Amino acid sequence: MAKNNDNRMEREDYFKDRAGTGDTRFHAVPHDEEGWAVKKEGQNDPELTTDSRSEAVSEAKRMAEEAGTMAYIHDEDGKIKDQFKYNN
């Protein structure tokens, strides 16, 4: 159990270190019970919440393109399904 906790903490630290940098990525993820959100790595609060998966995907891609970074699209189970890389 301690090893899983250590890995989770390392992952959280990794994302916090990237937050606010050019390496910050955007994720379209399931949110609450039936909604979707766009979350920026390293932040707990979503940039956007919606009932529509397609809207969350579009917004994650748009934000990533504007920032010149990556968008990760998750499926209903939270696993990464697609990724898109944008460069400035």
Give the separation between CA 56 and CA 6, rounded to whole angstroms. 31
Q: Quick check: 62 pLDDT over 90?
A: yes
pTM score: 0.75
Of 58, 72, 84, the closest CA to residue 29 belongs to 72
**Full domain range(s) for residue 52:** 2-85
Per-residue confidence (pLDDT) for residue 88, from 0 to 100? 72
Average pLDDT over the chain reads 83
Q: Domains in the chain: how many in total?
A: 1
Give the separation between CA 15 and CA 66, rounded to whole angstroms. 20
Stretch 58-70: mean pLDDT, rounded? 95
